[in-house]
Amino acid sequence: MEILEDLLYTEDHEWVRKENGEIVEGITDYAQSELSDIVYVELPDEGRTIRKGEAIGTIEAVKTVIDVIAAVSGTIIEVNRKLDEHPESINEDPYEDGWIVRIKVDDPAELETLLDASEYNKLIKKE
């Protein structure tokens, strides 16, 4: 299981990469491995205003369906349309090809509430 040092994480098993006042968000390698084979991703609408902690989409796997939870408040400026045809990209490469949304962040201070790689590693060891 891969936990990248340069990312931030949520307790809901999403990862966040900061990029010039925006973030890219997806689910972690741990989350995709727990889900097993991902067969469908319901993506949110671009332009949608979201609040931290809000469900913004769903991921359907062979085992179950989970919500994708917004790591921060902001506006969705891009979704990964590749997932419409290739949801398995999340299983194959959750941190690059399997990203889910790009969000323009309303309040950068919300990023300070996220976990660093070490904190996230401790979290998943408890599970």
pLDDT surpasses 90 at 63: no
Residue 20: what pLDDT? 86
In the structure, what pLDDT confidence band is assigned to residue 1 with cuts at 50, 70 and 90? confident
Distance (Å, whole) CA 18 – CA 27? 15
Domains and CATH numbers, the chain: 8-116 (2.40.50.100)
- Span 14-62, pLDDT tens digits: 999 999 889 999 999 999 999 999 999 999 999 999 999 999 999 999 9
Segment (H or E) for 83: helix 82-85
In the structure, what pLDDT confidence band is assigned to residue 66 with cuts at 50, 70 and 90? very high
Q: In what side-by-side order are the strands of the sheet with 8-9?
A: 8-9, 14-19, 22-27, 101-105, 74-79, 49-50
Distance (Å, whole) CA 4 – CA 6? 6
Q: What pTM does this model have? A: 0.93
